[in-house]
C-alpha cells in the first residue's frame, strides 16, 4: 500500500466537483427513486 504525500492529502480536500457529480446530486434531489422503483419492480424480470 502506498503512503499518501502531504501534497496529495491537501489535493484530495480541494478537489473540484465534476459536472457528472453535480448532475448526479441534482438527479437524486429531483427524482423520487423509491417511488419509481416500486412502480417498475413488478415488471422487472425475476432471477431463478
Instruction: Encode pLDDT of 16-28 as tens digits.
Output: 889 999 999 999 8
Q: Say if 26 falls within a structural domain.
A: yes
Q: Say if 22 falls within a structural domain.
A: yes
Q: What's the number of domains the chain is made of?
A: 1
Q: Say if 1 falls within a structural domain.
A: no
d(CA 40, CA 8): 43
Q: What was the pLDDT predicted at 16?
A: 84
Name the pTM for this structure. 0.45
Q: Say if 38 falls within a structural domain.
A: yes
Give the confidence band of 10 by pLDDT, cuts at 50, 70, 90. confident
Q: Say if 48 falls within a structural domain.
A: no
Per the model's pLDDT, the better-predicted residue between 31 and 7 turns out to be: 31
Domain that holds residue 18: 6-43
d(CA 19, CA 31): 18
Amino acid at each position: 500500500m502506498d503512503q499518501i504525500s502531504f501534497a496529495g492529502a491537501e489535493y484530495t480536500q480541494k478537489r473540484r466537483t465534476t459536472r457528472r457529480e453535480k448532475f448526479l446530486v441534482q438527479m437524486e434531489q429531483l427524482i423520487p427513486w423509491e417511488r419509481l422503483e416500486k412502480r417498475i419492480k413488478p415488471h422487472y424480470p425475476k432471477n431463478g
